[in-house]
Amino acid sequence: MKYVVTSRGDEKSDLLRLKMIGYFDDFDMEYDEAEPEIVISIGGDGTLLAAFHEYQHRLDKVTFVGIHTGHLGFYADWRPSEAEKLVFAIVEGKYDTAAYPLLKTTIKYGGSKEKVYLALNESTVKSSGGPFVVDVEINGSHFERFRGDGLCMSTPSGTTAYNKALGGALMHPSIEAMQLTEMASINNRVYRTIGSPLILPKHHSVTLKPVNDKDFQVSMDHLSILHRDVHEIRYDVAQQKVMFARFRSFPFWKRVHDSFIEE
């Protein structure tokens, strides 16, 4: 089996990476940064997000697993003390896989050009500096004209991240859907938005169309890019999914409890 180990870059994570590579050297495992079959991320959820974007072109061929060298993460759920045990489980192939939905973001520009991105957590859209005003369409029909700081579209697993901070609901990753949440919408006697998160199933799409400004700051997880001359931004539940290696039972709601409730 071909594998790769990525690190957050701090001393603790880098040392653990070298230790794990040393463990794998004792077995018939090939270290391959170009075409790995399993990606081991050491650091936190941010490190795993970076690994996802690095290997998203191999989603049908790669499985991810995360080790946290800081706080427990939703994607990085193994402890450094369990590294040797994890290596043995990988070598012996004693694991199942869990598939998580992804978000597809299609940005169309003037001149019929477009770019497509995938996100594991969420995509956000904000103004490049002026007022943020967009028409929101659901399945091609006008839903509302949004005025505010921005909008966030989240995957189910990403609902525990920025979406939660915006007051969105938490969704189990087995649900193939996406969630739209508002950032400081303007609501008064003149302007109205729904003022509530929207959960949309996989056969629905959401399109954002600029009203005035056509330059937007769009993020996909930790990556933020300024896009100019935007004609529309469309969100769909992606056909692709990300695969995570599961070596033991660690229910999603227990992760939620351990991350946000248990002291």
Q: Which residue type occupies 155?
A: T
In three-state secondary structure terms, 83 is helix
Closest CA to 98 of 193, 181, 172: 172
Q: Is 147 annotated as a binding residue?
A: yes
Q: Is 34 annotated as a binding residue?
A: no
Q: Is 54 annotated as a binding residue?
A: no
Question: Which helix or strand (DSSP H or E) is residue 243 part of?
Answer: strand 230-246
User: Is 145 exposed, middle or buried (CB count within 10 Å of its CB: 0-12, 13-18, 19+)?
Assistant: middle
CB 135 within 8 A of CB 145: yes
CB 20 within 8 A of CB 83: yes
SS3 letters for 162-185? HHHHCCCCCCCCCCCEEEEEEECC
Which residues is 198 bridged to in the sheet? 180
CA neighbours closer than 13 Å in the CB half-sphere of residue 16:
27
Task: Establish whether 221 is a catalytic residue.
Answer: no
Q: Is 45 annotated as a binding residue?
A: yes
Question: What CA–CA distance (Å, rounded) separates 166 from 151?
Answer: 10
- Active-site residue identified among 45, 77, 221, 236: 45
Q: Is the dihedral of CA 132, 135, 140, 142 positive or negative?
A: positive
CA distances from 148 to 29, 145, 178, 184 (A): 52, 10, 20, 5
Q: Is 17 annotated as a binding residue?
A: no
Q: Is 184 annotated as a binding residue?
A: yes
Q: Is 139 annotated as a binding residue?
A: no
The residues that are catalytic are: 45
Q: Which residues are annotated as a binding site for NAD(+)?
A: 45-46, 121-122, 147, 149, 184
Q: Which residues are annotated as a binding site?
A: 45-46, 121-122, 147, 149, 184
